[in-house]
A and B are shown apart, each in its own frame.
Chain A
Amino acid sequence: MKPPRFEYHRPSTRDEVTSLLAEHGDEAKILAGGQSLVPMLNFRLAHPGHLIDINHLEGESTEPEMNDRWVTFDPLVRHVGAERSAIVEEELPLLFEALRYVAHPAIRTRGTIVGSVAHSDPAAEIPAVLTALGGEMVARSARGQRTLHSDDCFVGPLVNGLEQDEWMEVVRFPRRGPGDGFAFEEFSRRSGDYALCGVAAVARPTPGGMSVSLAYLGVGVTPQSVEVSARPMAEYQHPSFLGELEHLVAAELKPYSDIHATGAYKLFLAVRLGTKAARRAVAMGVPG
């Protein structure tokens, strides 16, 4: 299990990355944290002719940054940088909670937030969090920059919304709004494994109650959204909510079966975990 041959590039500026991609596009892979790419190289499931190593970009931030609207992750912010960030803890409680479920400590020291989004694994936590929060990513190519909403970031399993000559420069999550509540739930076989099913929940105040956006991982080819319409707080805690969510989930999700869970079991988990997450998110929020 050794990587195949490739041509190695070590750009020191973002512009160099962009021009290397313009040149090698379809044959190139970007190496950031490498925690997903290198296993694929070792298994020889990936055979990039060119590897563009962005770990030596100069002057890159290793911590998230914040403006009035967004918390922004540059390409070399690693999971551990996000985990230890006071900005993330205060402004992105959903991401903060979800990071606990991302693999293991020795993986999170290398893996990057942007890389997790770019890898577009439908069973991974961060794409679901981005989807639930309605975040964005900035794609860059020699043709310029464009912004993709989270709904357009994820196209299929391990397929992101980038063109061949584009790379993902930045990922940003909206800062929490007043009264918002959040919760993340997942079930995996072992600690740190990809989830059989997981869900990121965002509760937002509405007149007289709250609405909840759920984004599921592990149940589709991309993160799957389920919207719970506005209702009074008490309805979430009522036993009948589970049945209501069951209907919603059954209508929206068509989970695939894998070796650890059938579609039916994933649906079951989606209802149970979704109920838990919605209730917790709502309990944390402040109704409008």
Chain B
Amino acid sequence: MTEKRKISLTVNGESREVDVEPRWLLSDVLRHELGLTGTHVGCEHGVCGCCTVLIDGAPARSCLALAVTIDGSEITTVEGIAEEDGRLHPLQESFQKHHGLQCGFCTPGFLMTAMPFWADAEDMTDDELRKEISGQLCRCTGYSGILASIRGAAAIARERQGER
């Protein structure tokens, strides 16, 4: 058996130690070792974007990262973005409101890709926004619901501010 290495990750704010074979992909370690099955695997060559997570705050393909190489990093997955009280993140709520998902398989990748910029999305041009999410494939929606969802998230966040 190949020798395993212990790595330390901070996953959704929690410290996790896990023994990994050097060849294991981060996507597999998240899903099968840490039980975080919300990250989906669609192509394992970096084109579909379903497996996108945040590595140290930046969207990246978990199928193109060996888990061993991101030892010490902070990972955020789709399981880690809802608010502390369990309420959906404004971006998640917006996807429900604007029908930004159908089968839901690509959805975590779109959410994680949009995490860094959703708050500014309503001021982007249509072309800019499309360019930001190019790199994520969706086979169900034709993207219109996804574009509306990302664009609409800031308004939901503002509404929530108003409630407070």
- The answer, among B28, B60, B69, for a CB contact under 8 Å with A31, is B69
Q: Give per-residue flags for B123-136: 1 if the beta carbon is below 8 A from chain A beta carbons, else 0.
A: 00000001110111
B2 and A5: CB pair below 8 A?
yes
Interface of chain B: mostly helix, strand, loop or mixed: mixed
Distance in angstroms from A23 CB to nearest chain B CB is: 18
Residue A192 interfacial (CB < 8 Å): yes
> Does the CB pair A106–B134 fall under 8 Å?
no
Given contacts A31-B66, A53-B69, A104-B135, is CB(A2)–CB(B113) below 8 Å?
no
Q: Is the CB of A105 within 8 A of B46?
A: no
CB-CB under 8 A for A51 and B22, given A39-B46, A104-B134: yes
Q: Which residues of A contact B61 (CB under 8 A)?
A: 35, 106-107, 110
Kindly state whether residue B63 has any CB partner on chain A within 8 Å. Answer: yes
Of B2, B68, B71, B134, the residue contacting A191 (CB under 8 A) is B134
Instruction: Name the distance in Å between B68's Cβ and chain A's nearest Cβ.
Output: 6
Q: Which one of A43, A56, A110 contacts B45 once the chains associate, using CB atoms below 8 Å?
A: A43
A49 at the interface (CB under 8 A from B): no
Assess whether A190 is in contact with B134, with CB atoms less than 8 Å apart.
yes
Chain B, 103-122, contact with A by CB distance < 8 Å: what is the 0/1 string?
Answer: 00000000001000000000
At the interface, yes or no: B59 with Cβ under 8 Å from chain A?
A: yes
- Give Cα A191–Cα B137 distance, bound, in whole angstroms: 12
Contact A38 B22 (CB under 8 A): no
A37, chain B: closest CB distance, angstroms: 9
Q: Is the CB of B135 within 8 A of A103?
A: yes
List, in ascending order, chain A residues with CB within 8 A of B23's CB: 2-6, 8, 41
Question: Please, how many angstroms separate the alpha-carbon atoms of A192 and B136 in the complex?
Answer: 11
Contact B66 A192 (CB under 8 A): no
Q: Produce 1/0 per residue, A89-113, CB < 8 A to B.
A: 0000000000000011111011000
Cβ-defined partner of A105 (8 Å) among B64, B70, B113: B113
Kindly supply a per-residue 1/0 record for chain A positions 1-20, scoring 1 wherever the CB is within 8 Å of any chain B CB and 0 otherwise: 11111111010000000000
Q: Which residues of B contact A2 (CB under 8 A)?
A: 23, 25, 28, 44
A39-B64, A105-B135 known; A80-B45 Cβ under 8 A: no
Q: Which of B59, B66, B113 contacts A34 (CB 8 A)?
A: B66
Contact B55 A38 (CB under 8 A): no
* Smallest Cβ-Cβ distance to A9: which chain B residue: B22
CA separation between A109 and B60, bound complex, in Å? 6
Shortest B40–chain A CB gap in Å is 14
The 3 closest A-B pairs by CB, nearest first: A104-B135, A8-B22, A191-B134
Other than the given A8-B5, A38-B25, A104-B136, 8 more pairs (CB < 8 A) read A4-B23, A5-B2, A6-B22, A8-B22, A38-B64, A42-B25, A53-B69, A191-B130
The 17 sampled A-B contact pairs (Cβ below 8 Å) are A2-B25, A2-B28, A8-B22, A8-B68, A34-B64, A34-B65, A35-B64, A39-B44, A53-B66, A55-B69, A55-B70, A104-B136, A109-B58, A109-B60, A191-B134, A192-B134, A192-B135
